[in-house]
Amino acid sequence: MSTASHQIGWKTAAAIVVSNMIGTGIFTTLGFQLSDITNTYSIFLLWIIGGILALFGAFCYAELGSHFKGNGGDFIYLKETYHPLFGYLISWISLIIGFSSPVALAALAMSKYLSVFDYTFGNGFAMMAIFLVATTLSFSLKTSSRFHNFFTFIKIAFIIILVIVGVGLSGSPQIGNSLNFSNSWQKEIMLPAFATSLVFVTYSYTGWNSASYIAGEIKEVQKNLPKSLIIGTVFVTLSYLLVNYIMLKHAPVTQLAGKEDVMGEAAINMLGISFGKIVNIFIALQLIATISGYLWVGSRLTQAFARDTHIWKPLSKGNKKGIPVRAIFAHAVIAAIIILTGSFKEIFVYTAFILQLFASLAISTVYFLKKGDRTIFKSNAFYIFPTVFLLFSVYILYFTFIHNPKESMIGLGIIAVGIILYVIDKRLSGSKKDEGNAPEEN
């Protein structure tokens, strides 16, 4: 159990939630959505639904995190309620996809946004950024907190200034915009593309559960965990709606559709080339907090998971100050490999698909909590939250699988590898126990 000197308050926990949520998704996914969905009401509805689902999920995780104390998050919830296999799988997924893929995507987005300058920032730069952040997080909890809070401050200040400037400035009549407030939204929300666009949105909200993974490092967890989750999620939802409005207001659909660096395109239209490049720099800087947040939280989950395994046992060890350095660099190495093995959109889709699937499994564990186990929501009306979340998840997963079968199968294939590794790990652990119990020869 962490001592008070090695624990964080709700502000740092909320900073982790905000930094894990605001990052790659909001600054890249609008271009993918505009390929099929162009009505502004439809776009806003996507992000409102995503925010509601994230908030409902945060309510569920607040209860789960308060009940299952200590670090581990989904690993603990699934292991204690369903079966150790599910705990193993969520940890395997978190190691390979859940926390390593977002790190890779954030680093790739950094290089994409910085490529507005004459020098081309490629995969090498993205991987270097990951390892520099990993090194910074390897010293102590105090150093990690200061580093993370500094870049999260940049992230939040940048978002606030961007919103004020973007809303205040008039759009250019010559350039045009993507704002469309017609009645076409009524048809668009019935399209399969609306459901598949939700997978990009739900990915962009990934991180609403992040503080629950480090519950063991939060002071007064029953009070501060729900506070950090809810404040972080509400702030991010409002930010997402306003940032999308700015991008739609300052760039036409033809300029944004299918592109990753959509905010950069809108910023150049909004402020001119020189100031637009400065916006690109700040987008890249705020992505450092995203990389930091995922490496921080992911390493704690991997450390908790590794303690109970044979194959991954070495990753459970920390340094003298308790920092899981091996786990941090394991995520960094995997993120670097991901960068070298897929396109941005392909990585995005299979990551979003598999994270939605396992978020649904984790949320379903609240049904195992009895009324007396809940410390925040005592009424049975609480079950509205997980039920709505799961119904939308089924809707999203079905259409994502139908329209992106290749990426979905990649995700399912990674799960299959995890099942094989679980079987191998159990056998190795069993063999070691048998050797330890074997009688000594005379």
d(CA 262, CA 265): 5
Handedness of CA 95, 101, 107, 110 (dihedral sign): negative
**pTM for the full model?**
0.79
Low-confidence ranges of the chain (pLDDT < 70): 1-6, 20, 69-72, 118, 210-216, 430-442
Q: List, for residues 271-312, the tens digit of each pLDDT value.
A: 888 888 888 888 888 888 888 888 887 888 788 778 878 888
In this prediction, residue 442 carries a pLDDT of 47
Spatial contact of 34 and 252, defined as CB atoms under 8 Å apart: no
d(CA 73, CA 86): 13
- Distances in whole angstroms, Cα of residue 439 to Cα of each of 109, 362, 431, 434: 58, 42, 14, 10
3-class SS of residue 130 = helix
CB count within 10 Å of CB 158 equals: 17
In this prediction, residue 2 carries a pLDDT of 46
Q: List, for residues 7-24, the tens digit of each pLDDT value.
A: 777 787 787 777 767 777
Domains in the chain, start-ordered, CATH in brackets? Answer: 4-427 (1.20.1740.10)
The set of residues, in sequence order, having a beta carbon less than 8 Å from that of 89 and lying 6+ positions away, is 78, 358, 415, 418, 419, 422
d(CA 246, CA 241): 9
Phi, psi for 388 (deg, rounded to 5): -65, -45
Element of type H or E holding 135: helix 123-136
- In 3D, which of 214, 231, 201, 245 has the Cα closest to residue 148? 214
**Token digits of residue 72:** 């581990």
Per 3-state DSSP, what percentage of the chain is helix, strand, and coil (rounded to 5)?
A: 75, 0, 25
- Distances in whole angstroms, Cα of residue 98 to Cα of each of 43, 92, 302, 356: 25, 9, 11, 10
In this prediction, residue 437 carries a pLDDT of 54
